[in-house]
Structure 1
Amino acid sequence: YFHILLLLHSLHYVYTASSGLSTFPEFVAVGMVDGVQMLHFDKQSKTVLKQDWMEQLTRDDAEYLESSNGLSLRSQQTFKDDIGILKQRFNQTGGAHIFQKMYGCEWDDDDDDSIDGYEQYGYDGEDFISLDLKTLTWVAAVPQAFPTKQRWNQEKGYNEQQKNYFNKECVDWLKKYLSYGKSTLQRTERPRVSLLQRSPSSPVVCHATGFYPDRVVVFWRRDGQELHEQVDPGEVLPNHDGTFQVSVDLDLTAVPQEDWGRYECVVQLKGIEDISTPLDPALIRTNWVYMSGLTIPIIIGFVVLLLVAAAVVGVLLYKKRNGECIKLSRRTDT
């Protein structure tokens, strides 16, 4: 069984407008390439570049910052007006509300024709309206979005323009960002793989961390065949250093330990050879140690407790043996 690892690159923007939140800006715009934030905009600080390579881009493109600030400022006023309209449609007079626009594109650098784009809006954490690029029509997620859908569907020129943006302009910008940030965005970092288990009755966790990019495949095999049962895959999560991590659990409740040798964890990341880790008790990191088929707890807290208990018993024995001397000294002190 072979997994197809697509090397998809992505450019995403998120605009967030708020109302009734004193601790959150009225408008924030964020741009991300391959999940890495490269710019941030708010009313106070304007456009802030979040990556060193963006500094070089703005030196080469003198109009970039001015254009970015202008677009964000116009969006800020539009979104402020939109929240007022939405509050009326939802019969809301006060409270805290959030309106968001999310749009972007994805591109497979192995297939130049493999391009996907999206544009969608959300209100108070729920879908509101989205653009179907195949039909160039807007899809309302809630009844309150129907008036917007009807009006936007009539703007055929704008919708065609959006199609061109997602299929051409957005991808051109994505390629430009990837070129400037090549050393960061197009690097490959090999994952470190560990087998973890909390207790003998817990699942064995195959944990891969420190890898980049985030497009990784981790799975368990038995006798060379990928397992779909007994397995609980986790989500790919970011690390603080810009790399990623993921865990996949394997339930061994009904598997005798003598059959563990039939299992292995496989990690696949484009650009490196597959990493295969056999299910060997000696490789499992845990709070328990296996010895002659027995499982012995070696929890540090328990050892400390034993030491404290031994010290208390020693003190009590000492007092019992020297009880009268202690009493006499107390009388003398008083």
Structure 2
Amino acid sequence: MVPVLLFLLLLLGPAVPRETHTGPYSLSFLYTGLSRPSEGFHSFQAIAYLNDQPFFRYDSEGRKAEPLGPWSHVEGMEDWEKESELQKAREDIFMVTLKDIMDYYKDREGSHTLQGLFGCELRNNKSSGAFWRYAYDGQDFIKFHKEIPAWVPLDPAAQNTKQKWEAEEVYVQRAKAYLEEECPGMLQRYLPYSRSHLDRQDPPSVSVTSHVAPGKNWTLKCLAYDFYPRGIGLRWTRAGDARETESGGDVLPSGIGTYQTWVVVGVPPQDKGPYSCHVEHSSLAQPLTMLWGKRQEAKAEGDLGTRPQ
């Protein structure tokens, strides 16, 4: 089940913009419905995000919307009882949709997953984008095109979903109004409680390590971690020239509201370099350079632009 969920997250794409410093800001919701929930997974779960930070969750077991992270200590941001009732209603509709798809394919015995991703974005305090789409068993299913406006089927079974969701014109207009008015309005309401957290700048810690096996190349790894926002530049150079890396490059959540990434390069035993890892991040006054030698670790200070040797 876990690999399927991870694949769907990749399929649906990022729920938020990569950069968060002083905007843009986004509000998004990721819904997941499972026909056969297993241990540790609920039949329905909703997670709401402000930019890339989860700020409340809801699931089919507790049936309560609960704030997460720093938002769990904020008073007056949301009426959580009212939000819980809203998520209950959305859960019911979502799970009916999953059942309808399974009925279309006449497959009520297998394990199936439906995910939905929807939300909006603000730039310079103005609405600049919105999205609403679904995936079924790892494949695009249906999406909303607000300019038409209409639901656009991306799967044979989605024709039935489209007919059901467009049975009355008011349903289509409500979806359009949600993306263009209600969602941006909610985001505007949340920002006064959230800007200090979303606009923060956490500089990366950087570690350079190496190892070699007899008769093999040196393997150099540059790890950057505990940084926020997500956008970062990380590369190996030899005598100032960029080197092609063998692995790494993906920016991953650390699980504590920050990010981590790494790059790995191979170096022949006779190649003495010099090799350096270069790090660029919005929290740094200038790029940070870590020279390959013995294991080194440094905390990058944004106002110092230190270049450890």
Same fold (TM over 0.5): yes
Deviation at 1:89, TM superposition (A): 0.9
CA-to-partner distance for each residue in 1:99-136, whole Å, 9 max, x for gaps? 2221123445xx55572321111222332112234554
C-alpha contact 2:211 2:218 (8 A) present in aligned 1? yes
AA aligned opposite 1:145: A
Partner of residue 31, structure 1: 48
Partner of residue 217, structure 1: 233
Partner of residue 266, structure 1: 278
Deviation at 1:226, TM superposition (A): 5.1
Within 5 Å, which residues of 2 pair with 1:227-246?
229-230=244-245, 232-246=247-261
Over aligned residues, Cα RMSD in angstroms? 3.2
C-alpha contact 2:97 2:161 (8 A) present in aligned 1? no
Query: Which of the numbers 170, 174, 179 marks the counterpart of 2:187?
Result: 174
AA aligned opposite 1:127: D
Partner of residue 156, structure 2: 143
1:256 & 1:156 partners in 2: Cα distance?
72
Q: Secondary structure at the match of 1:41?
A: strand
AA aligned opposite 1:275: P
Please state which structure has a larger fraction of its residues in helix. 1
AA aligned opposite 2:137: D
TM-score by length of 2: 0.73
Deviation at 1:209, TM superposition (A): 0.7
TM-score by length of 1: 0.68
Residues 153 and 203 of structure 1: CA distance in aligned 2, closer, same or farther (over 3 Å): farther
Deviation at 1:239, TM superposition (A): 1.8
Deviation at 1:224, TM superposition (A): 5.1
Partner of residue 7, structure 2: none
Deviation at 1:205, TM superposition (A): 2.0
C-alpha contact 1:54 1:180 (8 A) present in aligned 2? no
2:203 & 2:101 partners in 1: Cα distance?
47
1:256 & 1:140 partners in 2: Cα distance?
58
CA-to-partner distance for each residue in 1:267-306, whole Å, 9 max, x for gaps? 2222422333254334568xxxxxxxxxxxxxxxxxxxxx
Identify unmatched segments of 5+ residues in structure 1.
Answer: 286-334
Q: Secondary structure at the match of 2:267?
A: coil
Aligned-pair identity (%): 27
2:65 & 2:254 partners in 1: Cα distance?
25
Within 5 Å, which residues of 2 pair with 1:158-197?
158-197=171-210
Partner of residue 66, structure 2: 48
Deviation at 1:47, TM superposition (A): 1.6
Within 5 Å, which residues of 2 pair with 1:70-81?
70-81=85-96
Query: Which of the numbers 268, 271, 284 marks the counterpart of 1:257?
Result: 271
> Are positions 1:130 and 2:148 aligned together?
no
C-alpha contact 1:39 1:50 (8 A) present in aligned 2? yes
1:116 & 1:233 partners in 2: Cα distance?
31
CA-to-partner distance for each residue in 1:135-157, whole Å, 9 max, x for gaps? 54433222221233455567665
Q: Secondary structure at the match of 1:273?
A: coil
Partner of residue 222, structure 2: 206
Deviation at 1:213, TM superposition (A): 1.8
AA aligned opposite 2:293: P
Higher alpha-carbon Rg: 1
AA aligned opposite 2:161: T
Q: Secondary structure at the match of 2:284?
A: coil
1:268 & 1:5 partners in 2: Cα distance?
14
Residues 282 and 198 of structure 1: CA distance in aligned 2, closer, same or farther (over 3 Å): closer
CA-to-partner distance for each residue in 1:163-215, whole Å, 9 max, x for gaps? 44334432343344343134433221110112222326144222111111222
Identify unmatched segments of 5+ residues in structure 2.
Answer: 1-17, 298-309
